[in-house]
Amino acid sequence: MAPPAARLALLSAAALTLAARPAPSPGPGPGPECFTANGADYRGTQNWTALQGGKPCLFWNETFQHPYNTLKYPNGEGGLGEHNYCRNPDGDVSPWCYVAEHEDGVYWKYCEIPACQMPGNLGCYKDHGNPPPLTGTSKTSNKLTIQTCISFCRSQRFKFAGMESGYACFCGNNPDYWKYGEAASTECNSVCFGDHTQPCGGDGRIILFDTLVGACGGNYSAMSSVVYSPDFPDTYATGRVCYWTIRVPGASRIHFSFPLFDIRDSADMVELLDGYTHRVLARFHGRSRPPLSLNVSLDFVILYFFSDRINQAQGFAVLYEGWTVYGLATLLILTVTAIVAKILLHVTFKSHRVPASGDLRDCHQPGTSGEIWSIFYKPSTSISIFKKKLKGQSQQDDRNPLVSD
Ligand SMILES: *[C@@H]1O[C@H](CO)[C@@H](O)[C@H](O)[C@H]1NC(C)=O
Ligand SMILES: *[C@@H]1O[C@H](CO)[C@@H](O)[C@H](O)[C@H]1NC(C)=O
Ligand SMILES: *[C@@H]1O[C@H](CO)[C@@H](O)[C@H](O)[C@H]1NC(C)=O
Ligand SMILES: *[C@@H]1O[C@H](CO)[C@@H](O)[C@H](O)[C@H]1NC(C)=O
Instruction: Quote the ligand 2 centre to 85 CA distance (angstroms).
Output: 9
Closest CA to 91 of 41, 56, 47, 49: 41
C-beta 47 within 6 A of ligand 3? no
- Which segments within 68-212 are labelled E, that is strand? 96-98, 108-110, 121-126, 137-140, 160-164, 168-172, 191-192, 195-199, 205-210
CA of 82 to the centre of ligand 3 (A): 6
Residue 288: C-alpha distances to residues 125, 266, 273, 274 (Å): 40, 8, 17, 20
Residue among 254, 293, 319 whose CB has most ligand 4 atoms within 8 A, to mutate:
293
User: What pLDDT, on the 0 to 100 scale, is given for residue 266?
Assistant: 83
Among 302, 320, 304, which Cα is nearest to 254's? 320
Nearest of 134, 136, 203 to residue 166 by alpha carbon:
203
Ligand nearest, relative to CA of residue 62: 3
The more confident residue out of 48 and 265 is: 48
Round the average pLDDT of the chain to a whole number and report it: 81
The residue among 69 and 401 whose pLDDT is bigger is: 69
Q: Does residue 4 surpass a pLDDT of 50? A: no
What does the pLDDT read at residue 341? Answer: 72
* Residue type at 120 in one-letter notation: G
- Sheet containing 315-323: give its strands across: 224-228, 315-323, 253-262, 293-296
pLDDT confidence bin for 365, thresholds 50/70/90: very low
How many whole angstroms from 61 Cα to the centroid of ligand 3? 6
User: How is domain 32-118 classified at the architecture level of CATH?
Assistant: Beta Barrel (2.40)
- What is the whole-number distance in angstroms between the Cα of residue 346 and the centre of ligand 2? 29
Rounded Cα distance between 375 and 139, Å, is: 8
> Hey, what CATH class is 218-325 in?
mainly beta
Tell me how far apart the alpha carbons of residues 200 and 399 are, in angstroms, rounded to a whole number: 19
> Residues near ligand 2 with C-beta < 6 Å?
45, 47, 56, 84
Whose Cα sits closest to atom 3 in ligand 2? Answer: 47
* Closest residue CA from atom 13 of ligand 1: 218
Taking the centre of ligand 3 as the mean of its atom positions, its distance from the CA of residue 260, in whole angstroms, is: 30
CB 264 within 8 A of CB 311: yes
Name residue 138's amino acid. Answer: S
pTM of the complete model beyond 0.75: yes
Q: Whose CA is nearest to atom 10 of ligand 1?
A: 8
User: Closest-lying ligand to the alpha carbon of 255?
Assistant: 4
At 89-124, the pLDDT tens digits run 999 999 999 999 998 889 999 999 999 999 999 999
Domain ranges across the chain: 32-118, 121-210, 218-325
Dist. CA 256 → ligand 4 center (Å): 9
- Nearest ligand to residue 71 Cα: 3
- Each residue of 226-278: pLDDT tens digit? 999 999 999 999 999 999 999 999 999 999 999 999 998 889 999 999 999 99
Q: Do the beta carbons of residue 18 and residue 225 sit within 8 Å?
A: yes
Neighbours of 56 (CB within 10 A): 11
**Is the CB of 295 inside a 6 Å radius of any atom of ligand 4?**
yes
Ligand 4 atom nearest residue 253's Cα = 2
- CA 113 / ligand 2 centre spacing (Å): 15
What's the pLDDT at 358? 32
Establish whether residue 337 lines the binding site of ligand 4, counting it when its CB lies within 6 angstroms of any ligand atom: no
For ligand 1, atom 7, the nearest C-alpha belongs to: 2
Which residue has the CA at smallest separation from atom 5 of ligand 2?
45
Ligand nearest to the CA of residue 84, numbered in listed order: 2
Q: What is the per-residue pLDDT for 336?
A: 76
Integer angstrom CA distances of residue 23 from 56, 80, 254, 351: 26, 28, 22, 19
Of the residues 47, 52, 59, 109, which should be mutated to test ligand 2's pocket, given the most ligand atoms within 8 Å of the CB? 47
Ligand 3 atom with the shortest distance to the CA of 82: 2
Q: Per-residue pLDDT averaged across 349-372, rounded?
A: 34
Work out the pLDDT band at 334, boundaries 50, 70, 90. confident
- pLDDT of 325: 74
* Ligand 2 center to 81 CA (angstroms): 15
User: Is the CB–ligand 1 distance for residue 106 below 6 Å?
Assistant: no
| pLDDT at 327 (0 to 100) | 55
Q: d(Cα 169, Cα 193) in Å, to the nearest integer? A: 12
